Structure 1
């Protein structure tokens, strides 16, 4: 690590501490040349996969879009914000653990449906009706039967 004061390459770590959450490491360093001290932080950098839409276009994954979709389906439903955040974390963990650089939007939609089914059956039906483009009442009835079975 270069010294920010004299740009010398020779710096020494004199203290290391892990944050309370365990996701950041704070290091105090000392420059061997000018003897000045400075702090560096080490964080995990996670790169979410790119989302490939049905038409073949690609877009960056956005947590805000996922949250908005979930909140729309869960509108006026008795589901806590904490439960929604936990669902978002599970979806993101599955995307990251897949190791893929690109994920089809259909796969993301299936992950969302799985989480909604776990959170609230009505929200699941709402989301499924738009996601699967229900065109008549029989498709709603099939989705309801599927929810009743599980």
Structure 2
């Protein structure tokens, strides 16, 4: 591992410990300059392809998923920490399916299931975009599902 301060290759690990998001945090010290720094190791997972509604395929993008959930939670009492934890849960669920390609519809349904438990207003916001509500009746039908 190269030292970010002096650029030398000889560093040693002082401390290692797991983090909450299945990564390993390593404290390192450079043998040349003596400065300390932290690195994180995360298991590289297989690339996941998302099959869109129009059958186009694109690589899975965590940031895109997070942005959609953040938009639906706008001005709601939902912390970014909770949103990131929810995205971690969703990722774990879709990667555990063991598929290389996954329909966007499957991801959307998982997100809606999680949002329903997290915040009902955010759920309706996400559903209105995801399910492309065409009129008020469709919107009301979704709200009736929540009320049951």
TM bucket, shorter chain: 0.7 to 0.9
**1:94 and 2:101 aligned:** no
TM norm structure 1: 0.72
**CA deviation vs aligned residue, 1:19-58 (integer Å, no higher than 9, x gap):** 21164498xxxxxxxxxxxxxx975221242101111111
RMSD of aligned Cα (Å):
2.3
**CA deviation vs aligned residue, 1:73-130 (integer Å, no higher than 9, x gap):** 0110110111101110010001110000000011111111111111110011111111
Say if 1:90 and 1:43 are closer, same or farther in 2 by CA, change over 3 A.
Answer: closer
Following the alignment from structure 1 to structure 2, what is the Cα–Cα distance between the partners of residues 118 and 98? 22
Give every structure 1 segment of 4 or more consecutive aligned residues whose post-TM-superposition deviation is greater than 4 Å: none
In structure 2, stretches of 5+ residues that fail to align are: 1-12, 27-39
Number of aligned positions between the proteins: 121
**1:70 and 2:102 aligned:** no
Say if 1:20 and 1:75 are closer, same or farther in 2 by CA, change over 3 A.
Answer: same
Task: Find the residue that maps to 1:133 and give its secondary structure.
Answer: coil
TM norm structure 2: 0.73
Following the alignment from structure 1 to structure 2, what is the Cα–Cα distance between the partners of residues 52 and 140? 26
Task: Find the residue that maps to 1:130 and give its secondary structure.
Answer: helix
2:122 is matched with 123
1:9 is matched with none
Following the alignment from structure 1 to structure 2, what is the Cα–Cα distance between the partners of residues 122 and 25? 36
Following the alignment from structure 1 to structure 2, what is the Cα–Cα distance between the partners of residues 52 and 138? 29
In structure 1, stretches of 5+ residues that fail to align are: 1-15, 27-40
